[in-house]
Amino acid sequence: MVKVAFMQNSDCWGCHQSLLNAHLGLLPILPALDIVYWPAVVDFKHDSLVARPDGDILVGFVEGSLRTNADVENAKLMRAKCQLIIAFGSCSCYGNVHGLANEWDIEELIKRKFEQTESITNESPHEPKEHMPGFTNKIVPLDEVISVDIYMAGCPPKPEAIISSVQFLLGQKPQPMADLSFCNDCSLNNDNCLLEKYELCFGPITSMGCTLKCTDKGDPCVGCLGPAKTVSVRAEKLKNMTQNIDHLSTGDKK
pLDDT in tens, 82-115: 999 999 999 999 998 899 999 999 999 999 999 9
DSSP secondary-structure letter at 114? I
What CA–CA distance (Å, rounded) separates 85 from 178?
Answer: 21
DSSP secondary-structure letter at 194? G
Residues 6+ apart with CB under 8 A from 123: none
Cβ contact 19:41 at 8 Å: no
Count of domains observed in the chain: 2
pLDDT of 209 > 50? The answer is yes
247 — pLDDT class (breaks 50, 70, 90): low
What CA–CA distance (Å, rounded) separates 36 from 21?
Answer: 21
Cβ contact 93:40 at 8 Å: no
pLDDT in tens, 45-77: 999 999 999 999 999 999 999 999 999 999 999
Query: Looking at the structure, do residues 147 and 65 belong to the same domain, yes or no?
Result: yes
Query: Looking at the structure, do residues 161 and 186 belong to the same domain, yes or no?
Result: no
3-class state of residue 241 by DSSP: helix
Identify the domain containing residue 60 by its residue range: 2-98+131-169
Query: Looking at the structure, do residues 140 and 227 belong to the same domain, yes or no?
Result: no
Q: What is the pTM of this model?
A: 0.81
Query: Looking at the structure, do residues 91 and 150 belong to the same domain, yes or no?
Result: yes
What CA–CA distance (Å, rounded) separates 205 from 224?
Answer: 11
